[in-house]
Amino acid sequence: MPVYYKALIKNGYELEPSPIRCGGEGSIFLVQGNSSIAAKVYSHGNAPKEKLYQMLKMPLAQKSDYIAWPQDILFNQTGTPAGFIMKRFSYTKSLAEMLSDTSFQWKKRICVAANLCDCLLYTSPSPRDSTS
Q: What's the pLDDT tens digit per position in 16-64?
A: 999 998 988 999 999 999 999 999 999 987 789 888 988 888 766 565 6
Each residue of 107-129: pLDDT tens digit?
877 877 777 787 777 666 665 55
Q: Are 105 and 113 in contact (CB under 8 A)?
A: no
What are the backbone angles phi and psi of residue 122, rounded to the nearest 5°?
-85, -15
pTM for the structure as a whole: 0.74
> In 3D, which of 89, 92, 96, 5 has the Cα closest to residue 47?
5
> In 3D, which of 76, 9, 57, 77 has the Cα closest to residue 37?
9
Report the chain's terminal Cα–Cα distance, integer Å: 53
Max CA distance (Å), the chain: 53
What distance in Å separates the CA atoms of residue 68 and residue 87, rounded to the nearest whole number? Answer: 6
What distance in Å separates the CA atoms of residue 52 and residue 2, rounded to the nearest whole number? Answer: 24
* Residue predicted with more confidence, 50 or 91: 50
The residue type at 14: E
> In 3D, which of 36, 16, 35 has the Cα closest to residue 27?
16
Each residue of 8-19: pLDDT tens digit?
999 999 999 999
The residue type at 118: D
Those residues with Cβ within 8 angstroms of residue 62's Cβ, 6 or more apart along the chain or in another chain = none
* Residue predicted with more confidence, 68 or 91: 68
